[in-house]
Amino acid sequence: MADSISFIPGGVTAPQGFRANGIHCGIRRNKSKKDLALIVADTDCAAAGIYTRNLVCGAPITVTRAHIADGKARAVICNSGIANTCEADGVEKAEGMCALASQVLGIPAADFIVASTGVIGQPLDLAPIENGMAELTAGLTEDDSGSDAAAQAIMTTDTHKKEFAVSFTLGGKPCKIGAIAKGSGMIHPNMATMLCFVTTDAAVAAPVLEQALRDAADETFHMMSIDGDTSTNDTVCVMASGHCGNRMIEQASGADYEAFYQALLAVCRAIVRELARDGEGATKLIVCRTHGAKTLEAARKSAKSVICSSLVKAAMFGSDANWGRILCAIGYSGADVDVSAIDVKFVSSAGEIEVCKNGAGIEFSEELAKKVLTPDEVIMDVSLGSGDYGAEAYGCDLTYDYVKINGDYRT
């Protein structure tokens, strides 16, 4: 089992056997914004993915599902700017992206994960992708700069890249997991987030990789919301090269599996916190931490309902200790809770303040509450007082700028 998990520089190129790049090919009008990303493994990888449950589903998801149905993949190609969703020939275009990269790299088109993000319903032109393929593939590198470029190329309204990597050990072998992600709006995952690509040099069988990814998503991606809108293109995929030389993990149990899972969980949690922090127009990350729940389901439902509440989010923007909105959100969450046992306090780098005890208000300093709620990360600590289960959910405040950004998103 891993002695420790350490965050290290880099992203998808931190693990052995992966190269990446990102360029501006012309899908987006702004030439300063990269819009085409590529991640390539040196060898075939075990692969797994989870996707949006929105019935309006991006064509790249249909193609990726089919491509990794055999549990393996070799590369990821992704564009930003156009979502390739609600297009009559969307599947053909997603397959076309894979074919263009396949011709240059000599990797079968069926071994590509493909993704798109951006405006829904506008046609995706493959000509810029074809014209940019030589530059994209020529610039592939295992250096951190490759992951950096790919992370930038998948961004839409993100204000900064999301990129993390960790090191850990499996059976005495040093291993790594890296990831890049994008997402700032239309985020209320029913599986994952907008887009997240994970690489690892650990040897993990594909079915086990999928189980680990699904369990990690339940603790992280499924516990995040920015605006309550589930995207059409949500995708999280992971590729495992096995280059670190550990003994193959073939069961979702045991010390090695637990070590791998905890490392994957650490990366996913870091990604989710950064996605929530960078929500469209957001000024602060808000975390609802529940504990004392009767069941894990009750802990998760309560926490997620709180960070999804528009009224709670607006109160956090105004640094207003309106704790009644938190109880309200828990009350309609569907969670099995005793509302008369709920305690609430706010916690931040500026201190902490208790505002509710046993489901009722208590006297507190509004001045201190304002101070506690002003920093760019605020925790709503909620004791449900009825059991031993807990959970965390991640969101952001609701600001005027969210409306501004989404009022003219297409233009």
CA separation for the pair 368, 344 (Å, rounded): 15
As a residue count, the chain comes to 411
Q: What is the side-by-side order of every strand in the sheet holding 389-396?
A: 360-361, 351-357, 343-348, 377-383, 285-293, 389-396
Tell me what percent of the chain is helix, strand and coil, each rounded to the nearest 5.
35, 30, 40
Beta strand 377-383 pairing with 285-293? parallel
CA separation for the pair 233, 218 (Å, rounded): 18
Name the token pair of 365. Answer: 């300093």
Q: Does residue 203 contact residue 242 with C-beta atoms inside 8 Å?
A: yes
Query: Which H or E run includes 317?
Result: helix 310-317
Active-site residue, from 137, 193, 200, 232? 193
CA separation for the pair 167, 175 (Å, rounded): 6
Torsion angle of the four alpha carbons 363, 368, 370, 371, in this order, in degrees rounded to the nearest 10: -160
Going 249 to 253 to 259 to 265, the CA torsion angle's sign is positive
Q: Is 193 a catalytic residue?
A: yes
Q: Catalogue the active-site residues.
A: 193
